[in-house]
Homo-oligomer: A and B are copies of this chain.
Amino acid sequence: MIRTTFDQLTALLATILQKEGLDHLRAITCATIFAENTRDGVASHGVNRFVRFINQMRNGVIDIQAKPVLTGGFEAFEQWDGGHGIGPLNALAAVERAMELAKKHGMGAVALRNTTHWMRGATYGWHAASKGYPCICWTNTTANMPPWGTTTNVIGNNPIVLAIPAQPHPFVLDMAVSQFSYGKLETLRRNGEQLPYVGGFDKAGNLTTDPTEILATKRMLPVGMWKGSGLSIMLDLFASMLSGGSPTVSIPASEPNVSQLFIAFHAGLDTQERQARKEMVESAVRMMQDLCSEAGEHFPFPGEGTLRRRNQSDEDGIFVHPEVYQEILALKI
């Protein structure tokens, strides 16, 4: 593996993005998101996807010049059109706008249409929560999962993020509504391994832990079976209806036109009360941790895996697969 640092990686990616035509600030912001995702252990939406991201700029799926345009809304709620622009920059602008609206109106939401892949949803949750805003956001996706009881891929795995400010770190959940990701299935197949739990259906229509079978049928399992199936449908309808954008069933595989929703809360609390609420959250989590500890168990809080991998990267550096690194370097030429 190639060992790099966060700053080196950001600088490398920013250089390439500037060469592709992004101005300095947008290049740095976008590079930072890809570097953060890699640092946090999500290389699949960091360095490992960077070449594909650049190729989507070059082949026109992503319009690098497009910026979100306000198309409607009223006070606390706004609709924006992403113009098929850069997904992570559009999403960052949208969550920041939702935070502004929340500060002004107690809460706020931005529905964003015609945007491209936001990479890692947690990015926007960490961003809002680290600035003191509880935040919920989600995206729809291309149709990559069958609704419960069918074999027809018409629903998406629509990742949803919930984030809450706290000290010393926010609590952030980032979950797709499929039980496993295609990335996970592919990794296990390459390694000749099975899933730890059933994650989809085989050709005979039975639930299986075999990634090869699931990749063949493309019948991924929604979280909680019929429940995640319904959740996927509702998240999709909410994001597309509120943004006036495309629902999953109308989104091509390259995902040039996904629909997203960003909700932020401010709640009109003064500084003192905001502090009290944060402490209330911290105390609730501590109580759950203590009760688990008494049983000799570990309370798994949302975001702990991210924090662990982030700290590891800060100590040891960020590791990039040599082939991926070479492909990224080649983009500089």
A150 to B79, CA, bound (A): 42
User: Which of B248, B249, B298 is A150 in contact with, Cβ under 8 Å?
Assistant: B298
User: Which of B73, B134, B267, B295 is A151 in contact with, Cβ under 8 Å?
Assistant: B295
A148 partner residues in chain B, CB cutoff 8 A = 300
A331 partner residues in chain B, CB cutoff 8 A = none
Task: Please state if B74 and A266 are interface contacts (CB–CB under 8 Å).
Answer: yes
Q: Any chain B CB within 8 A of the CB of A315?
A: no
Interface of A: prevailing SS: mixed
User: Which of B105, B147, B247 is A105 in contact with, Cβ under 8 Å?
Assistant: B105
A162 partner residues in chain B, CB cutoff 8 A = 231, 234-235, 238
Task: Please state if A106 and B231 are interface contacts (CB–CB under 8 Å).
Answer: no
A109 to B265, CA, bound (A): 9
Task: Please state if A287 and B77 are interface contacts (CB–CB under 8 Å).
Answer: no
Q: Give the residue name and chain of the B residue nearest to A77 (CB).
A: B106
Q: Any chain B CB within 8 A of the CB of A318?
A: no
A267 partner residues in chain B, CB cutoff 8 A = 72-74, 77, 79, 111, 242
Q: Any chain B CB within 8 A of the CB of A240?
A: yes
Task: Please state if A175 and B224 are interface contacts (CB–CB under 8 Å).
Answer: yes
Task: Please state if A241 and B277 are interface contacts (CB–CB under 8 Å).
Answer: yes
Task: Please state if B268 and A77 are interface contacts (CB–CB under 8 Å).
Answer: yes
A242 partner residues in chain B, CB cutoff 8 A = 134, 265, 267, 277
Residue positions of A touching B, CB distance < 8 A: 72-79, 104-109, 111, 134, 136, 147-152, 154-155, 162, 164, 171, 173, 175, 177, 179, 197, 222-231, 233-238, 240-242, 244, 247-250, 263, 265-269, 273, 277-278, 280-281, 284-285, 287-288, 291-292, 294-295, 297-302
